[in-house]
Structures are given as structure tokens and as C-alpha cells.
Structure 1
Amino acid sequence: MTREYTSLHFTKIAFKPLHTNLFNIVLLSIFLSLGSGNLYSQDIKKKQTTIPSKKQEVKSSDTKNSVDKSVVEVKTDTVRLDTVKVKKGVLDSKVKYKAENYVKIDQKKKHITLYDKAELYYQDVELKSGIIVMDYEKNEVYAGRIKDSLGNYTQFPNFKQGSNVIEPDSIRFNFKTKKALIWNSRSNQGEFNVKAAITKKENDSVYFLKGARFTTAKDIDNPEYYFQTNKIKFTPGKKIVTGFTNMVIAGVPTPLFLPFAYFPLSKETSVSGIILPSYNDSNDKGFSLQNGGYYFALSDYYNLTLTGDYYTNGSYGIAAQSSYGYRYHFQGTFNVRYENNITSERGYPDYSKTKIYNIQWSHSQDSKANPNSTFSASVNLGSSEYFKQTINQINVGSSLNNTLSSSISYSTVFNGVPQSRISLTATHSQNTQTKEINMTLPTLQFSVDRMYPFALNDGAKKGFIKNINLQYNLNGKNSFKTTDSLFFKPEMFKNADIGFQHSIPLSTNFKVFKHFSVSSSLNYEEVWYFKTINKRYDDQLNTVITTDVKGFDTYRTYSTSTNLGTTIYGTFNLGSDKKIQSIRHVMRPSISHSYRPSFEKYYDTYATDASGTMQKDYTRFEGGIYGFPNKNSSNFLGLNLSNTFEAKVRDKDSTKTEAKKIMLLNNLNFDTSYNFDAKTLNWSPLRVSGGTQFFDNKLSANFGATLDPYAIDNGGNKIDVFNINNGGSLFRMTSANLTMNYSIDNKGTKKDKNSQSLRNGGRGDDLFGSDIDVGSDRKSQFGDEDEEDEISEFFRSKLPWDMTFAYSLTYGNSNRENKVIGNSIMVSANADLTAKWKAGISTGYDFVQNGVTFTQLRFERDLMSWRMDFNWTPFGDNASWNFYIGIKSGVLSDIKWEKRNLTN
């Protein structure tokens, strides 16, 4: 580094001894007694009181003084003499600064004074303040506020070193020792805002605070609540340790205090710690402590939470939850819970004791991890009564779901010509009403991509021959059917069904008469089983006995199908001066034919009575997981007609010249078939279905009806007589249904607020109620945690709200009952009553049962740093209420009060 001297002019005066006059000798001796060496004089220029605000730079010169630039590199040194050693520079790097009013440099005191919107940058320190005084000899800086014309303090210091920011009234900092003394500092540490009367900075990693308060409130000067303590020691980004701490709410000290406290502030990883339980009571289980436990921050990639519940009547529950993830590879969650659920007291008639469990696992792989192989999991299995009997209910709506399902799959692709792929899947389906479980462990699927043996190398595939293609598919299953009580017990695996299905579809497609598309296929299928059945009549038991026959067996079938279709367009012009200018009708008629011959050779007979005269046909492949060959041939002619209707209407905006397109009917389908090989009832019922949307696609409506051409007798049995020939109409409506769904809001796109409900198999809306989160990190039940409302004198001109509406109507007349089987409506609505009050309701009515469906009322009050909510299910099997008030911040989520009660 080159050395630069301050811009001063020196004049050197040297005295020589004289030989002629004694007076001069005496005078010289007097001067030598007063001082010796060198004498200096200095030329001083006039001081400047202000400096332009634009950024400039000053560098010292030996010949010229230059102070017209506001970014200065200052280094001081003594003048080099023969008898004086050179001193090292005071500052270690450049000092950049500026001020709006003036910059004052005092070389004698070695001070730089900046006034009004002052800024100073040195090393890793950034300092902004009303006034800044830097002593570059002592390596110290002082910053403070200034008064405006009205005498009010403004321009408070903003001190930033690295990632730490402090906003005090004034500060004194030493660049060498890194020590600082700070008055009325305000800083942000993690989720905490900290204010202290006096702060002493020992070094970059240790601060001592006196007369401090800390809170998660945004306004540190007027917080809704804070913790008052006289002594704090904290390490930025790591921890806060306090002495005696008292909680203050709305400026009023509370009886809540701690002799000491410790708060982790780690930014990189979570910190292990205790999870405080919440207190609740129940009418049939007594008092309880719920969701207490410990959180283990095991690494950056996975964690573990262990929690438990205990009720005074002996009920208890334990749970383990883990989240894991590896960026750009995979992520997932795992939850398992077990409960020993006791109702009432021993000796009472309503006493019961059940053991229930639930396992949930979700895993997803990043598409970038391996483009050729994927692994995913979505597991939700357990006791059928879990969501109805659990003592730690998370989502009430989940108890209304009757099905649990799971899937774990792995697939990989083999690149080649042709390309092939293989996948392994384990599935689980559970009916919580019947408690029946169907499980495959595993399912094998292997396929080879479509091959065109007659296509040219240039890839052209035109005509019947060149479009001939074939594939190969292999499916294998190891299937189990069991119940709740036998799940994963030895009895479950004894009745496993194992089978393989091979299929080779051969197909082609081409056009005829330019406008008709034809597709034809031939499908060969071969099925392997390792267990078949045998039926015989037992004379002693007087019944038919079915026994399993173990061993390899197989059957082979084939079928053909052909489809002919086209598209017809029709436009009806009504006039450009009409509101509806034109209607467009698109018809897609198609005729299909399918044929499957009889495979009677796979059938045997067995006696159904002791005499043996009554015989019945059966196939040994009955009950197989891939079905069995049909004895009767089928020869179907299918008729299908699909329609769509669009309209062009004049736009309400007169400035637009183009007509507006609207959809009248998304689809209107007619579907029936005729079986040539059936001896009676050749025509199948005509199925009519359709759907459309209204109000900018916010309201969707779907309808359907089944029309049977055959009549029924007095016993309700279908007879081989057309209904019109039996004195009726052309068709007899046997069933009809209408469903409508409407979702609207004035807040934009509605968020998916029920992820837990979806994992449990429930709905993604609020029709079955919103989540009741009883975890330690409680979220808003309205799902708008990140939304900020601007509070003004008038809240909003439009009241924020959202609504979901569903209606279902089902009509039945298969046996002349002519009645409405189902007729119900469900509504869910949420609204912001004020900037801080939210309310919601989920309810419905069943017009057939004449009763109110599941109903939930919910209220929430935003208390800025706190949240208060109330959730009430007034009646039904899940009748309960829940009241909660607590701090939003996750680091203080255990500071809460919660009251829950099951009222049924």
C-alpha cells in the first residue's frame, strides 16, 4: 500500500553558529535551552461548512490540499525525520462517507464530523444517522439523532454489521476492538424484536443488554405484549439467554414470569426442544394433557417429533411424526399414531375400550433426480374406527369419509428400440363401514411400446397396412382380501390370490370416404393362476362344497372390436343484430362393434342335489383376480352420439366488434347397445348424460338419466316386451341424477386450506368443515396466514368472502317406486367481518331424511401478534367446541390457552 501524507506545507528553519559576537552566542544558547530540532510552520486554507451530496473522492497530495470530494481515503503519519521512526497507519481500509448538510474534517483532533442524513461505510460496517463523528486516531465512531425545526428527534442511527442491524438512539463503536456501547437499541433477532436501554457489544458474537424487552410484535415501541427483563445475553443468530423475565400484556405486568429463559435463534437448522402439552377435558374421558412431547432436530435432512396424550380415565395416545427431504432429490412426511381409547368408567353400561391406530406416509421424488426412474408413496391406513374414535381429532370432516386408500409405486424405463417400462405397486383399499380390506402386495406391470412392423423407415404411417401396430403388456398381482381384525396377521396371507395376465393388442386405424375414421383391434389374452377351485355335492352335508386346488393353470381368450365415427358441424345464424347471433352444434356420432366368442371348453358341471339330476355349469377359474372366461358369446353393436353447443352473443361492451363465445352445453351424450347373441332383452338401457357451466364457469351442473325400453311385470321384473307395446311411453325412466357445484369469492383464487383432510381422504373444500389444528404450531382455520389487511378508516368497500355450494338430487324408479332417493344441499361460507374478525359456517340439509347435515361454526380474531379462534360443531356424532388463544410466532407457540370439549 502506498503511503500518503496529509496535505500540509512545511517550512524548515535551520540556525548556524556565529563566530563574531558573544551576544549572538548567548542568544543561541537560550534558544537551544528552550528547544532543539526542527521548527515548522503551516499554511491553513479556509474551512468549508458544507459539502455537495454527490459522491466524490478525496486523495491527499504533497503539494495541494483537496477537500472537494466526499468519499475520502484517510491515512495519517508523521513526517519522516532522521531521528523519528515512521508510525503505522491508523485505519486499515478506505472510509466512504457523505452528508447532506456538511462534512467537517479536523486534522488536529483527527475527527470527521458528518451532519444531516450522514452515511459512513468502513470495512463491514454501514452506519446511517443524523450525526456521525469519527475519530480515526482512536478508531472510534459515534452516531446519534438530531432535532428538526420543531424540536423533535429525527434520523435515528441505523447500524449494520454483517447481517446484524441495530436501530438505537445513539451508538459508540470501536473498529479495532469491535466493542460498542448502544443506547435504546432496536434490533431484530430471528422472530424476535428486541429493545434495550443500554447495550454493550463485547465482540461480534456476544451482546449484553440491560433494561430490555423482546417480543414478536411488529411495533417494538408500542407492542401488544412483550417480555421484560433486566439482563440479557444473546449471540446473534444462535441464542438468547435472559435473567428474571416477566410477561407484560397491553402495558400491564402479568403474574406470568420465569426465573430465566433460553430461546434458540439458529437460522440454518431447527433446534431440539420440549413441546408443552395443552390442557383439555371431555365428558366421557376426564381431564387430559395433549400433544406434549419432544422435538428432535436430527439433521438438516430429517427430524422427529414424539408426542403423547393422557386422560385421567386411563386413555392415552402416542404419536411419531417425521419430515425429511433432500433438495432436488425427494421429500416426504411420515406419521404414525396409536391410541388406547377408554370411554366412560369401568362398571358403567357405556364402558368400552378400543385400540386404534393410523399410519400416514407421503413421499415424492423430484423429477430432476432421475428422469428414467420414479418412486412415490401415498399411504393412509389404520383402524376403520380411527377418525371416529380418536381422542386427538385433527379434522372432523375426515370422520365422514368411508374409504381409506394407499399406494406405493416404483417405475423405471428401459431405453431401447422399442422402449419398455416396468413398475411395482403396492395398493390398499379399506372400507371403514364394512371393515373390509383389499390389498395387493405387489402389482407388477411390464409393457413394451407400440411397434409398427409394416411402416417404412421414414416413419410414414398411412393406410390400413402401415398403421398396423402391436404391443405387449404383462400384469401380475399378489392380492389379499381380509378384515380389520386380521390385517397383517398369518390368516391374511393364507388366502392370497396370485395371477398373471398377458395381453397382446393388435390394432390399426384408417379413413374411409375422407370423412369417416375407422379403428379396429384384435386382443389376445392369456391368464395364469396358481390356484383354482373344484365344486362337488356332499351327500352327508347335503350341500355344495367348494375346495381350492393348488397348482398352475391357465386359460386363453381373444376378442375383436371396430369403431366407425365422424364429426358433423352445424351453424345456425340468427342475425348480427340479434343478441344471440349464432349457435354452433357439433355432433360426433359413432358406431362400434365388439365380438367375443364363447369359451365353453373351460367349463365343467357339478350336481346341486343328492340325486345328481340337477346339474350346473361352472369354471374352475371363478374368483380369479383377472376374472374368468365367459361361457356365452357376446356380439354387441354400440351406438353413441355426443354433442356440444356453443353460441355467439353480442358483447355488453359496445366498443367491441367481435362477438363473445359462450358454452351452452359442454356435452350431451346418448349411449346404448344391442346384443345379437342375447336370446332376450337385446337392447341395453339408453344412458343420457350431460353437463354445462354458468356464471363464468363458477357454477357447474351435471345431469344423467337411464331410460329402459323394456317394460316390467307386476312383480317388478323386466320382461321381453317393449314398454311402448305395454301401454307405456317409448322409454321408462329408471333413474336420474343432478349435481351442482358452485364456488365463488371476491378475494381471488381460493386457497387449498385442507391439506390434512385431503391426506385423510376427505374433501379439499370446507363443505365437511375446516381443519381443527391441535398441534403445537397452530395455523389459521381460514387458510390465509400470509395475507395482510391494510387497516384504514374504512376497512374495505367490498366485504371479503368466499362460498362453496353443492346440491345433489337422485331419482329412482326401477320398480315403479317413483320417488326421490336423495335430495340434499351443502353450503360453506367464510367472510371477513372486519379487518380483524373472520367468521365461517359449513352446513347443509337433507330433504329426504328431513335433517341438518354436518354443521360447523368458526370464528377467528386477529390480535396482531396473537390469534384467538372458536370452532363449534353443535350436534351430531362429532359434536364439540374448541377455544384457543395464543401467540402466532412459531418460536413462542407454546404460550397459549386452549379449551376443548366433546359435547356428545
Structure 2
Amino acid sequence: MPVSRDTVPLPQDTNRKKTDTLLPGKIIDSSKTVADTGSVTTVDSLSLPKLSKDSLDAPVTYKAKDSIILMVPDKRFFLYGTAATKYKEVELNAERMNFDQATGILEATTATDTSGKPIGRPVLNDGGQSFDSDTLRYNFSTQKAKIYNTRSQYGEGFIMSQQTKKGPDNAIFGFKNAYTTCNLDTPHFAFRARKIKVIPDKLVISGPANLEIEGVPTPLFIPFAIFPITQGQRSGILPPQYVVNQQKGMGLENGGYYVGLGEYFDLTLRGDVYSYGSWGLTVSPTYRKRYHYNGGMNLSFANTRFGDPTVKSEFSRSRDFRVTWNHSMDSKARPGVNFGANVNFGTSSYNRFNVFDYNSRVNNQIGSSISFSKTWQGKPYNFTMSLNHSQNLSTRDVSISFPDAAFTVNTVYPFQPKEMVGTPKWYQKVGISYNTVLRNSAQFKDSVFLKPKMFDALQTGMQHNIPVSFSIPISSFTLQPGINYSEYWYTKKIVKNWNDAQNKIDTTYTPGFYAARSMSASVSLSTGLYGMYTFKKGMKIKAVRHVMRPTISANYSPDLASQYYYEYQYNKNGDRTRASVFDGVSGIGVPSATTFGGINFGLDNNLEMKVFSKKDTTANHEKKIKVLDGFGITGQYNLVADSFKLSVFSIYARTNLFDKLNISANGTIDPYQVDARGKVLDKYAWQSGKFSLGRLTNASISMSTSFQSSDKKSKEKEKQKTDIEQEQGGDAAFQAQQRQLQMVRNNPGEYVDFDIPWRIDLSYSLSYSKSIIPDSGGVVTSFNQYLSFNGDFSLTPKWKVGLNSGFDFINKQIAYTNMYISRDLHCWQMSINLIPFGSFRQFSITINPKAGILRDLRINRTRQFQDL
């Protein structure tokens, strides 16, 4: 028997909320009509092995909240009230739907409530694409759709079209369209284009487009537009931004190309070009392997021209470079092995002519560190090797140490049995360890980098240490005897002589292998003393606790290095000084040429309070406050020295008041008197008839604090941060955070947090030093006092003003200052950056979309002024 072509699936649910399935090949008696008025009448059906030609290749599930009406003679059915239909991966939701089986077309429309407000707009989800529209027609047979007044989202962008056609391959063709990244129904801006095509997960392509702001067309037209909607890595052009620089002229900055080279590697090329002939180039490769390592590098070259090249006397140029590299290794990749790098190296004038962010301009000290370490699992061995670099951009002094290596054998107890039984004997606590250090370093000017003078300044040395120690508890004291043997290896020695003819010091280097040794024995005693003062009941301060930790040790070290010391004249007055032939030839130091038999002493203190607190929910209603985390003094006394038996005193103090104010201070007190020329006399300061511990030769104090209002979205941001760390891995997330912080430093006005109404950071430092220069016969005293502050506050929820600055109290000058104003424009942001005074001044205003896909679509105006 042939299968009838007028088959209509019949729902089988009798509930108020209807959920039915359209099955292919069902025959229904067409003489019956089912109207859903609270229940559905089931009509007998017969399943046949052969399917009708108009049957679908998969079931269609549908439901409606209000009613489902089937018109069997017309082969149509209607759904009312929050209707939903699903066919394969296609899902359609709308207030009203009707299906025509003869044509295979499902139509969804919007309804209106009693007030005339539209409700239940059709929403189509197909293969990850979503369409929100007024009216939608979908053909189940051809899988094509026509959509009216639709709004769909692709990544960070939204497309609104008067008419849209969707093909079976999910390609979208739109007529009279608008593309925007604003998520409002009436967007603040949009690119208007007559025709547009969307290739799913690839591109949005349009013909000629016009930028419209607040519904007003602008003079900005583009002949075509390509908006990528792909996820992941894609190569592409990086558009430049227009700037005006007083020194370099008009220019285009940061234009280039991004090259995606796969999952593990990518490359960014950026360049700058200016009308006065200056240019710059930056190559930035990055690499990563999840759960193993990640890193990135910047190789920057710049050529800056000054003056008119036709006038040779007024023309000059500066060729500069800078290399930055960061690398981190996942600790789980190779347990026991770690490799990391943080490199920042370049010419001293690179920052002066090519870097304009606040932090780089105020920081004259840069440095690098590359390190490798290995720990043997189950063994007491540790090995580290590193390269370190520091550079002063003002003085152009460079210090490099490579390779720096250290091998350590942790303390082992050779007399200790594998299994301890009973009370251990004293000799079982004897511990022996070993460590060796290799130092290679050089100090030079950056102008001689990689030149012979740099290698002539190389200092090399190696030091071995074998300490033997053990501890003996005696009541509340701890007694710790110990012996230490050290050996120093050098590759050259130095001898200085005064040259009367030229009135200077001549220096002679003698290469070779040289060794020096030192030895010491010590015994130390330490304990802890506790004191408590309790206040009367009812007082806010309940108790004050004072902890003292005195230490005293006897030390003896014989003179094993006097043969390597000599005296030489250092000025024309005939003044002489004593020095070692190994001074300045290595980074490991030199052994002392004096016999020391004396006492080292120290006293550390800690002060805490218990105060009444209403916030404490316990019955005591109290909390602890640290008044002083630590404060103390250290020094030593040499019993066998002929003179200057007492050393200088080192004093220190540190605290964190109210968990807000960090304070640290330290200083050095010299207990000896000096004469009018600054020469130290072997007389104690208190022997002059005045009560004094000595002269304060140097001291410093620093304080810092930070305040900010509460962030209502702090939990949400912390969750997003955790999600990123879990998705990218801890190291990758950290690197991403560091790159974001660098972007914030470069332009703080574009990266403000409007969720925090106000924020302020303060830091203060004061340092004092009194240096004696014997050959000049004078005492040099210097003070430095500096206050730095930065912060921002919101004038309104959408306006924010910020400032980074400081004040030098000694020179009575305001430090390098950066001011910025930011305006949140919903889907756009405006920032104004101002450096009002100083040798480098700048004004810039930038308006750019927030969406990352349109990050380079910015309006920027920059003016820079520099005093050379």
C-alpha cells in the first residue's frame, strides 16, 4: 500500500504544557481535527516501513506553554505561548509559531501584550549562531532561513540587518546592515553597510561602509571592511596610529603585522616612521607550551635624528637598541629543575628618545636576571647558575656577572644512625655541609660593550666553604659551637704604586692562579625572654607583650692572609693605605689580614598589644596588634686587636601599623671620634666627655601606605582571574598579567577601573649619609628626601581623574608628573594624558572602542615636547 503524502504528526501529551515529536512516516486520518483547549486527543496512527518523500530525516520536538492547534486538512499546526521547536542542532524559540508541512516552512513571529509592547521575539540558534528578530521563516527541507529585523552576535561584535538570508552552510547574507560592538538595542555607534556577508567562525565582510555615531552619519567612509570572528590565532595587519612629536615630526607609530605560527609560537612586527627621518623597528616573538614553559622577547632598534642634515654642525643622530626577554617554566614540567629569565638591556639613551610612559621615564636603573637551578630528588645537592646585569641609565655604568654559579651540599649528619633510638648523643648532632661559589663579573661603561675594554674589566674568583656545626640545648638556652673553613681562588692579582712623575696611581695586573685561605671557630648562645604587662579591666588596651631575643657568640679567626697585603701611597701628600693584591680582581671578596678573637652580640625585640575589639565575636572581644615587628642592634668586639677593637653598631626597626602603614628604618653608628680632616681616631665617642654611642654615619627610613574604596565587583573579578589561571595555567596567566600591567603603565588613562571610586598610594623615604674621604681631607654629608604619590578618584561614575607624581624635598622640585582624565562612554572610552612640565612634556587625547576586535580603531592626537 503506498504511503500517503499528506501526513501530519500528532502530539501525544495531554498536559497543559505541550511537548510532542514529529516522527517521519506517520499516517494520520486527515478527516480529524485536533484543537488544544486544555487537552490533546490522541488519534490512531500506523507506522509503515517506507517513508513519504516529504518526511524529515530526523524528529522535530516542539512545545508551547499556552496551546497547540493542528489543522489536519491544511497540513498546518500552530503553537502559542513561549513556543519552542528543535530539529537536529536547530533550536527556535518565539511567542508564536506556525508550520506548513506542504512547504516545510516554519514561521515564527512576535506577539504583543495588553499594552501593545512586543513580547517573545523569535530567537534562532543554529550551529552556535544566534539570531534575534521580529519575524523568521525557516525551511526544514533546505535548511534555509529568511529573517527580518534581526540582531545576531559574533564574538565581540553585533550585526543588525533589516533582512537576512541564511544558507544551508550557515553563511549569512544581510541587507541594510549595521556592525557594532555596543551591546545596546540602539547602539552608540555602528558601521552602516548595504550588503554584508558572514562566513561562520571566520569573517564578516561588507562592501562600502559609513561610520555612524549616535545615529548621525559621519564623513568617515571605508571602501570595504573585514571583521575577523574567529577564535584563536590569526595573522593580520596591525594599523598604525598618527602622532605629532616635536623632535621627530609627524609620524605613524606601532604599525606592522602579526604572524601566527601555530600553537606554540607567534611573531609581531611593529615599526615607527617620522617625517624628520627618525624610525624604529620592534620584533616581538612569543612562545608557549602548556604545562611546560612560556616566554616572550622584544628586540627594538631605533634611529633618532637631530637637527638639519644639511648643516653638519647642527646635525647628529642616536642609534639605540633594547632587548627584553622573559621566560618562565612550569614547576611541574621537570620536578627539581627550574629555568627563568627576566632581561632588560639596552643603550642608555633608548628610553630618553623612544619611551614615554611614566615608570620608564622616572626609573634610571634597569637590570636582568637569567637563572637555572637543579635539585636532586632524595639527595642533599643543589646547583644554581645565573647571569645578572644592572645598568644605570644616567651614569651609563653597567655591571654584568656571568656565569655566577653555586653548588651546595645541605647539612648531613655523618654520625647519626639511620634509625634513632633513645636520646641522641651530642656527636650525633654534628652536621657538615659544603658550598662553592663561582663569580665572574665586569663593571664598564655601556659604550665599550663587547669591546676589549669590557673583557679587560672581567673579574673572576671562586670560593669554597666547609662549615661544621651542632647544637646543644641547655635549659632555655641553645648552645651552638661551629667551625668554618674557606678557600679563595683567583686568576690574577693587582699591585698599585704611586707615580710621582705623572702624579697618579699606576696599576699592574699579573695573571695566574692564586689561592688564599681563612678559618674561624665560634660558639654562640641564644635564648628568648618574654615579658607581659596587663592593664586594668575596662581599658581598651588589655596587655602589652615584649619579646627579647639576645644572642652572643665568641669567635676566633687566625690571620692566614697577611702575606697578600701591602701598603701603597695614594696621594701626593704621602698618605698610605693597606690593601690586598686581590682587591678588585674578583667578586668573592678577600680574606681578612687580621687576627680576630672576640665577641659578636645582638639583640632583637618584638612588641605586641592586645586591645578591645567589638568585631571579635568571641567572649574575650580582643585582637592582637603588632607595634613593632622587630627592632634591635648588632655589633662585635675584637679582644686581640691592637686598636679599633669595637666595630660599628647596626640598628634596625620595622613594623606594619594597623596592617596599612609599612615602616622600616636602619642605620649605622660609628663609636669612634674623628679629627678635623675626618680621620678616624682610636678613641670612643663617649670619652670626649659627652654621653654618646657614636656618630650616625648613615641612616634611612621609608614609609608606604595604600588606601582605596571598596570594589563591588571584586569577587567577580577574582573569579575571572581564577578561571583564566585554570584555563591558561599559572605561568601563562602570570605572563599575560605582566603584559597587561605594562600596557597600563604605558597609558594609565586607558586602563582605569571605574568600579573603584577612589584610590591613593603614598610612599616616603629619607636617607642620610656621612662619608669620610681621607685623601681629600673632608667629610661629605648627603640627604635625600622624597615623597611619591599616585591615585585617582571618580568625579562621577563615568568620569575619573588620576595623578602620578612626587616631590624632592632636597632640590625643592616636583618629580616627573603624569595626569590623566578618563571617560567611560559605554562601548567607547576617552582618555586624556598630560605631562605638564619637565624635560619631557606631552599631551595626548585618545578615543577608542573597548572591544578588543576594534582596539586599533582609535582617534588619537598627541603632542610631545622635549628639552635635549
Select the residue among 622, 628, 634 that pairs with 1:665: 628
Distance in 2 (CA, whole Å) between partners of 1:533 and 1:187 is 78
Q: In the TM superposition, what is the alpha-carbon distance from 1:705 to its structure 2 partner?
A: 4.2
C-alpha distance in structure 1 between counterparts of 2:155 and 2:414, whole Å: 66
TM-score by length of 2: 0.87
Aligned residues: 828
Counterpart residue number, 2:111: 146
Q: Could you tell me which of 324, 340, 344 is aligned with 1:360?
A: 324
Instruction: Tell me which residue corresponds to 2:492.
Output: 531
Matched, 1:771 2:745: yes
More deviation in 343-352 or 515-524? 343-352
Q: Work out the CA distance in 2 between the residues paired with 1:700 and 1:606.
A: 46
1:801 aligned to 2:736? Answer: no
Aligned 1:202-351 pairs, distance under 5 A: 202-219=167-184, 221-269=185-233, 271-346=234-309, 347=311, 351=315
Q: After the TM superposition, which residues 368-383 of structure 1 pair with which residues of structure 2 at under 5 Å, given as runs? A: 368-383=332-347
Residue 883, structure 1, aligned to residue 857, structure 2: no
Give the Cα–Cα distance (whole angstroms) in 1 for the partners of residues 115 and 237 of structure 2: 52
Distance in 1, matches of 2:580 and 2:812, equals: 49
71-80 or 832-841, which deviates more = 71-80
- C-alpha RMSD of matched pairs (Å): 4.0
Task: State the alpha-carbon separation in 1 of the partners of residues 443 and 785 from structure 2.
Answer: 34
* Alpha-carbon separation, structure 1, partners of 2:42 and 2:255: 60
Residues 649, 56 of structure 1: CA spacing in aligned structure 2 closer, same or farther, 3 A cutoff? farther
Q: Counterpart of 1:162 in structure 2: which amino acid?
A: G
Larger Rg: 1
Distance, in Å, in 2 between the alignment partners of 1:338 and 1:286 is: 19
Q: Name the residue aligned to 2:775.
A: none
Counterpart in the other structure of 1:113: 78
Per the alignment, do residues 167 and 509 of structure 1 end up closer, same or farther by CA in structure 2, a change over 3 Å counting? same
Structure 1 residues 403 and 521: alpha-carbon distance in aligned structure 2, compared to 1, 3 A threshold: farther
Partner of 2:449: 487
Aligned to 2:606: 644
Per-residue deviation, 1:536: 7.0
Give the corresponding residue for 1:431: 392
Give a deviation string over 1:662-718, Cα, whole Å, max 9, x none: 112222212222122332232223333212233x31112223344443333334433
Residue equivalent to 2:655: 692
**1:196 aligns to 2:161 (yes or no):** yes
SS of match in other structure, 1:299:
coil
Distance 1:764 1:205 in 2: 36
Contact kept in structure 2, 1:841 and 1:857, CA below 8 Å = yes
Structure 1 residues 730 and 655: CA distance shift in structure 2, 3 A: same
Q: Hey, what does 1:37 align to over in structure 2?
A: none
Scaled by the length of structure 1, the TM-score of the pair is 0.83
Corresponding residue for residue 564 of structure 2: 603
Q: Distance in 2 between matches of 1:122 and 1:557?
A: 87
Following superposition, the deviation at residue 606 of structure 1 comes to: 7.9
AA partner of residue 649 (structure 1)? V
- Could you give the per-residue CA deviations for residues 324-380 of structure 1, whole angstroms, max 9, x where no partner exists? 211111111111111111233344976542111111000111122111222111100
User: Which of 99, 116, 122 is the equivalent residue of 1:134?
Assistant: 99
Q: Residue 627 of structure 2 aligns to which amino acid in structure 1? A: L
CA separation in 2, counterparts of 1:295 and 1:654? 57
User: What do the CA deviations read for 1:293-346 (whole angstroms, capped 9, x no partner)?
Assistant: 112122222211111112222211111112221111111111111111123334
Structure 2 vs 1, CA of residues 543 and 316 (structure 1 numbering), >3 Å: closer, same or farther? closer
Letter in 2 for 1:807: Y
Secondary structure of the equivalent of 1:303?
strand
Structure 1 contact 141–172 (Cα < 8 Å) conserved: yes
Partners of 2:740 and 2:196 lie apart in 1 by 46
Output one character per residue of 1:358-403: Cα deviation in whole Å (capped at 9) or x when no partner.
110001111221112221111000112222222xx25232122232
Mark the CA change 1:127 to 1:763 in structure 2 (over 3 Å): closer, same or farther.
Answer: closer
- Which has the higher mean CA deviation after the structures are superposed, 359-368 or 102-111? 102-111
Give the partner amino acid of 1:499: G
Percent identity reads: 32
Query: After the TM superposition, which residues 735-746 of structure 1 pair with which residues of structure 2 at under 5 Å, given as runs?
Result: 735-746=698-709
> By how many angstroms is 1:5 displaced?
13
Range 816-825 or range 233-242, more displaced: 816-825
Is contact 1:837–1:862 with CA below 8 Å preserved after alignment?
yes
Structure 1 residue 176 displacement after superposition? 3.0
Any idea what the Cα deviations from partners look like across 1:249-273, whole Å, max 9, x if unmatched? 111111111222222221132x222
Q: Note the 1:555-570 alignment, pairs <5 A.
A: 555-570=516-531
Structure 1 counterpart SS, 2:437: strand
Cα deviation code 1:632-663 (max 9, x no counterpart)? 12234222111111111122459753222211
Task: Go from structure 1 to structure 2 and tell me whether the alpha carbon gap of 1:479 and 1:811 turns closer, same or farther (over 3 Å shift).
Answer: closer
User: 1:377-396 alignment to 2 at 5 Å?
Assistant: 377-390=341-354, 393-396=355-358
Does the C-alpha gap of structure 1 residues 215 and 71 become closer, same or farther in structure 2, counting only changes over 3 Å? farther
Which residue matches 2:541?
580
User: Which runs of no fewer than 5 residues in structure 1 stay unpaired?
Assistant: 9-43, 774-778, 790-798
Q: How far did residue 156 of structure 1 move?
A: 0.1
Trace 1:444-843 onto structure 2 (pairs within 5 A): 444-458=405-419, 462=424, 464-512=426-474, 514-533=475-494, 545-600=506-561, 602-603=563-564, 619-625=580-586, 626-652=588-614, 657-658=619-620, 659-694=622-657, 696-734=658-696, 735-748=698-711, 771-773=745-747, 781-784=750-753, 800-811=757-768, 821-843=783-805
Does structure 2 conserve the Cα–Cα contact (< 8 Å) formed by 1:51 and 1:99?
no
**Equivalent residues of 1:566, 1:590 under 8 A apart:** yes
C-alpha distance in 2 between matches for 1:337 and 1:56? 66
Give the Cα separation in 2 of the matches to 1:74 and 1:340: 86
Structure with the larger strand share: 2
- Equivalent residue letter for 1:525: S
What is the DSSP-based 3-state SS (H/G/I as helix, E as strand, rest coil) of the residue aligned with 1:682? coil
Counterpart residue number, 2:724: none
CA contact (8 A) 1:532 1:549 kept: yes
User: Structure 1 CA distance, aligned partners of 2:780 and 2:585?
Assistant: 38
Q: Return 239-248 or 716-725, whichever deviates more.
A: 716-725
Structure 1 residue 242 displacement after superposition? 0.6
Q: Which runs of 5+ in 2 are unaligned?
A: 722-730, 773-777
Distance in 2 separating the partners of 1:71 and 1:616: 112
CA distance in 2: counterparts of 1:606 and 1:713, whole angstroms: 22
